[in-house]
Amino acid sequence: MYEFTIIVPVYNEEENLERVETELLAYTKIALRKTAILFVNDGSKDNSQSLIEAICQRNDAFNYINFKENRGLSAAIKAGFDTIETELTGYIDSDLQTAPEDFNLLLKEIGPYDLVTGVRANRKDSFVKNMSSTIANGIRRAFTHDGMDDTGCPLKVIKTEYAKKIPMFKGLHRFLPAMILLQNGKVLQVPVQHFPRVAGTAKFGVWNRLLGPLMDCFAYLWMKKKYINYEIATKG
């Protein structure tokens, strides 16, 4: 029935969820592919789960997974990849600092590519946040050679067959383009809109954007060395 599923990780975002419902519901009416929404509640300690259940009850295209405890963003994305059955999967943060309608910009390009990621143009974040993200992206590019300028952009479209083959570990959400390249896939980046956070609080600080990603780069190098990739030529 659906062709495209948008994964929405949620952790203590009760102040944003009604707006998430409104904007994603509006997007499903203009989407280039018939679209479903999958909330992944990452062990929220506020009222997020009850709001998610109410949203899903009144909207057929909305479903959810509820974690028993907080496991982190990479785990939430991985659970989404494991669950979806549509040809394409997307990802957007529940703070809505990126616009759901920009998924159409990515969907227009996905044909020959296996992952299309947004690049946040004219970012509306603080100087410290922007600078730490710029440094972290530079470090990551030096390790992965993925050519991506903004892998932290929470707006992506991936062919599901590739997404399901990604062996996720904590922090790997920053390396999705690199992991597609390890599968000999093709990636593209497209400029998208960016907005200030209007409700809730950010979940990442300087540690998460600088020192954490640096450590994750070494984990990625280990993964790259050990990664198994093959294509079957014939079967009998």
pLDDT of residue 130: 58
* The pLDDT of residue 32 is above 90: yes
Domain ranges of the chain: 4-226
Distance CA 4, CA 81 (A): 12
Residue-wise pLDDT tens digits, 101-118 = 999 999 999 999 999 999
- Say how many residues make up the chain: 236
Strand order in the sheet with 4-10: 62-66, 35-41, 4-10, 88-92, 155-159, 115-120, 187-192
Distance CA 144, CA 224 (A): 9
Burial label for 212, CB within 10 Å (0-12, 13-18, 19+), is: middle
Q: Assign residue 200 a region (left: φ > 0; alpha: ψ between -120 and 50; beta: otherwise).
A: left
Where residue 138 falls among pLDDT bands split at 50, 70, 90? low
* The pLDDT of residue 169 is above 70: yes
Pick one of 3.90.550.10, 3.40.50.300, 2.40.100.10, 3.50.50.60 as the CATH number of 4-226. 3.90.550.10
* The pLDDT of residue 165 is above 60: yes
Whether the predicted model's global pTM rises above the 0.85 cut: no
Give the pLDDT mean for 183-207.
75
Residue-wise pLDDT tens digits, 71-100 = 999 899 999 999 999 999 999 999 898 999
Pairing of strands 35-41, 155-159: unpaired
